[in-house]
Amino acid sequence: MMGSVGGGGSPEQDQPVCVTGATGYVGSWLVRTLLRRGRRVHATARDPVKARRMLSAVEGKERLRVFRADMAEEGSFDDAIIGCATLFHVAASMDLHLSPDQHDAEERVRSQVLEPATRGTINVLRSCVRAGTVRRVVFTSSVSTLAAAGSEGSVVDESCLRDLGDVWATKPIGWVYILSKRLAEEAAFGFARENGLRLVSVVLPTVAGPFLTPAVPTSVQLLLSPITRIYC
Distances (CA, A) of 124 to 45, 109, 145: 13, 21, 21
pLDDT value at position 217? Answer: 72
Task: Report which of residues 159 and 148 the model is more confident about.
Answer: 159
SS (H, E, C) 96-142: CCCCCCCCCHHHHHHHHHHHHHHHHHHHHHHHHHHHCCCCEEEEEEE
* Residue 43 phi, psi (nearest 5): -105, 140
What the chain holds in terms of domains, given with CATH numbers, is 2-228 (3.40.50.720)
pLDDT digit string, tens, across residues 199-230: 999 999 888 888 788 777 777 777 777 787 77
pLDDT value at position 135? Answer: 95
